[in-house]
Structure 1
Amino acid sequence: MANNNQSFVEQYLNFSNVDPTTMKEAVRDTLYMTIVSMVIVLVLGLLLGLLLYSIGRKKSFARSILYGIVSILSNIFRSTPFMILMVLIIPFTRALVGTILGAQAAIPALVLSAAPFYARLVEIAFREVDSGVLEAADAMGANYFQTIIKVLIPESLPALISGLTVTTVSMIGFTAMAGAIGAGGLGSLAWQEGFQRGNYTVTFVATIIILIIVFIVQGVGDFLTKKTDKR
């Protein structure tokens, strides 16, 4: 038993095998991919979610067809496994950013995977807004954009923040998977330096850092959700 314990310590807790500079670069790449992607996802998700909500709000044959098309496209990108999606769009990624390696090259796949997911959460959040509040805004003469900015978004803000938190946590997991095929970051470090070279301490440390980032994101998201909830 003592030998097994010693083996575990040597494999997972031998921190002399961890290069601080390399680990810092991996953390930086992971944060870069997550932050840049989520800014784009926030904008695209809100717009796509608003489009789905607006089309689905008023029933007509043309709107139903349009809603079905947008919904199908959204579901395709949302349901395709991230690793497969990243490989499928390699020509698009190369044309857009000029390379298929590095943190920047992972952003198109991250956005295409997460934006439709967040858009669905946005649509659900908008649908949960009390119709009486919207009718009151219409009665007071608010136009479409005023209703969105001053009523719809503020009333659904807790759900929007909660959905953004869930999406960001998923995004961090996607960056780890992207690292396995050359995107860099903690996922790449854990796979290439850790698993493939038998340096399990690197994998262990990278995993702990990813968990810490997730806990911070979740904690901040929960705090903001409670802070904006008027109930």
Structure 2
Amino acid sequence: MSKQEHFDAIWQRAAGRKGGDAALTALLPQADSGQARLSDAALLSAMSAQIFKSGFVWRVVENKWPAFEQAFWGFEPQKLLLMSPEQLDQRASDPALIRHGKKMQAIMDNALMVQELAEEHGSFGQWLQQWDSRNVIGLWAELKRRGSRLGGNTGPYFLRSVGIDTFLMTGDIIAYLKAHELLDASPNSKRGQMQAQAAFNCWQDESGLPLASLSRVVACSVGDNRLGVTD
């Protein structure tokens, strides 16, 4: 039998660990509908940056990203689809960039995905916005299926970075869900993600908070008690 806590109990425990309600509130992600303001090129840039950050030092990626913007023509999908293999090889050996051939190939693969979805839905941004946060795991799955290197938490982190509301399956979240018998399948499986979504939907019904805030509070209620914790 699952042991799903009421969200107010989770909040009180997290607030007690972080120094009170005000301190916990200050840790919550700021509500943002940034995806509504971003072009498809900007979305592809953000997606590509997140792919390069996966398994790498984020600050290095951020420092080098202006050079990526220049080398990849502002991440305009239509322009990128005209790039020759030779031009991509040149970028893969450019010391001003991060020389990772497979991740650079993912830029090209995802440019095609963005362009195809834009043709189907008016823009890639519109396609992202059509998803109900109560089934955000469906969006995770589509990004992984149609795109490149967007599995695990890379897709969700990208969505969070552009203002799409989502929870994250981080170590603290997984540990909480398992401890309370809300997750009995692999966190990367469809069944496991459905179980997580169901738990977060229940907490959203109770609290009215965005998934991103719920995710942060749950993470703050368990694990190492450190300031600036990220979920």
- Same fold? TM cut 0.5: no
Give the alignment's TM-score, normalised by structure 2. Answer: 0.26
Structure with greater proportional helix content: 1
Give the alignment's TM-score, normalised by structure 1. Answer: 0.26
